[in-house]
Amino acid sequence: MAGNFWQSSHSQQWILDRQDLIRERQYDLQILTEEEYQKVFIFFANVIQVLGEQLKLRQQVIATATVYFKRFYARNSLKNIDPLLLAPTCILLASKVEEFGVISNSRLISICQSVIKSKFSYAYTTDFPYRTNHILECEFYLLENLDCCLIVYQPYRPLLQLVQDMGHDDQLLTLSWRIVNDSLRTDVCLLYPPYQIAIACLQIACVILQKDSQKSWFAELNVDLDKVQEIVRAIVNLFELWKDWKEKDEIQMLLAKIPKPKPAPQR
């Protein structure tokens, strides 16, 4: 549905309340600090990104997969499904919904295996442990937990329109597009409508590129500027966190710390 965002399930069911989000995460936040929790999600957003790139998916599909991932854990503890299993499952589901053409199950598994080995060996010392049947089982659980809301609106399209409106500028578009990608490492996609995220990312890009002349353009936008500022803050916080974070040194400890699923009792 590329039509009306305001009538979409995204708008009506999946713009969450911050307090609600904190409440849902209570269990996990007894084990992880808020910062550690965010770092775990940054890591898995990277996993989804790399998997998507290896499968030659478009950014739109990768972004949708990432939003599925975040929506699932907005309602569930990390304990319920191993994020390493959910990440490729989200990719599989998003590629079907976004009409990218079918990814064969065997190709997905082999890409997972090779990516874990080649790109994330600093995080995982063992092989990718899941097979097709795990992913297909997981897909049903994912669909259920998403309440079948599969169409996700992304900030990319509104961003293109905004940049066009501003007077097209390639450098600005490239940078703000990247910032939208980065925003998937925060909770903003769960909390704000995509056009607000687009505006916030554009604003950050203008500041970075020192395009002061665009201030009046922003002032004329008919948008809740407080919300835009909240988004800007969330993304700037991410950049701060990134600056001092030595992911490769910390991630094994973090992954060891997250609550793990309990297998079925032995009979």
Partner 1 sequence: MDYDFKMKTQKERTKVEDLFNYEGCKVGRGTYGHVYKAKWKETSDGKEYALKQIDGTGLSMSACREIALLRELKHQNVITLIRVFLSHTDRKVFLLIDYAEHDLWHIIKFHRAAKAAKKQVVVPRGMVKSLLYQIFDGIHYLHSNWVLHRDLKPANILVMGDGPERGRVKIADMGFARLFNAPLKPLADLDPVVVTFWYRAPELLLGARHYTKAIDIWAIGCIFAELLTSEPIFHCRQEDIKTSNPYHHDQLDRIFNVMGFPQDKDWEDIKKMPEHHTLTKDFKRSSYSTCSLAKYMDRHKIKPDSKAFHLLQKLLLMDPNKRITSEQAMQDAYFQEEPLPTQDVFAGCPIPYPKREFLTDDDQEDKSDTKRQQQQAAAQQQQQQQQQQAQQQQQQSQLQAQAQAQQQQQQQQAQQQQQQQQQHSHEPNSKRVRLSGPGGGPQPNQQVHPGQQQQQDFHQQQVAAAAAAQQQQQQQQQVQAQQMMFNQQQQNFQQRF
Shortest reach from residue 36's CB to partner 1, in Å: 20
Of 13 and 174, nearer to partner 1 (C-beta) is 13
SS3 186: coil
149-188 residues in contact with partner 1 (CB under 8 A) are: 149-151, 157
Which span sits near partner 1 by CB under 8 A: 141-149, 186-194, 228-236, 246-254?
141-149
By CB under 8 A, is residue 136 in contact with partner 1? yes
Beta carbon nearer to partner 1, 38 or 89: 89
Helix 194-208 to helix 225-244 angle (10° resolution) is: 60
Could you tell me the smallest distance in angstroms from the CB atom of residue 9 to partner 1?
6
Label residues 115-131 b or e (16+ Cβ within 10 Å = b).
bbeeebeebbeeebebe
We find the least distance from the C-beta atom of residue 210 to partner 1, in angstroms, to be 31
Confirm or reject binding of residue 8 to partner 1 (CB under 8 A): yes
When asked if residue 148 is in the footprint of partner 1 (CB under 8 A), the reply is yes
Please state, as a whole number, how many other Cβ atoms lie within 10 Å of the Cβ of residue 166.
16
Is residue 9 within 8 A of residue 151, CB to CB? The reply is yes
Measured CA to CA, the distance from residue 30 to residue 92 in angstroms comes to 31
| Binding range to partner 1, per CB under 8 A, among 31-39, 134-142, 182-190, 247-255 | 134-142
Residue type at position 191: L
Give whichever of 137 and 169 is closer to partner 1, judged by the CB atom: 137
Q: How far apart are CA 121 and CA 114, in angstroms?
A: 10
Backbone phi and psi for residue 149, each to the nearest 5 degrees, phi listed first: -85, 100
Determine, following the binding rule CB under 8 A, whether residue 143 of this chain makes contact with partner 1. Answer: yes
- Interface with partner 1, residue 76, by CB under 8 A: yes
239 near partner 1 (CB under 8 A): no
Rg for the chain, CA atoms, rounded: 19
One residue of 18, 23, 58, 117 binding partner 1 per CB under 8 A: 58
Q: How many residues bind partner 1 (CB under 8 A)?
A: 43
Nearer to partner 1, 133 or 216 (CB): 133
Q: Residue type at 204?
A: I
Which string of b and e fits 1-38 if b means at least 16 CB within 10 Å?
Answer: eeeebeebbbeeebebeeeeeeebbeebeeebeeebbb
Stretch that binds partner 1, among 34-42, 46-54, 142-150, 243-251 (CB under 8 A): 142-150
Which position among 19, 30, 99, 256 is part of the footprint of partner 1 (CB under 8 A)?
99
Told to check if 102 binds partner 1 by CB under 8 A, we report yes
Residue 258, Ramachandran bin (φ over 0: left; ψ between -120 and 50: alpha; else beta): beta
**Using CB under 8 A as the criterion, which residues of the chain lie in contact with partner 1 when the complex forms?**
1-4, 7-9, 58, 60-61, 76, 79-82, 85, 93, 96-102, 134, 136-141, 143-144, 148-151, 157, 261-265
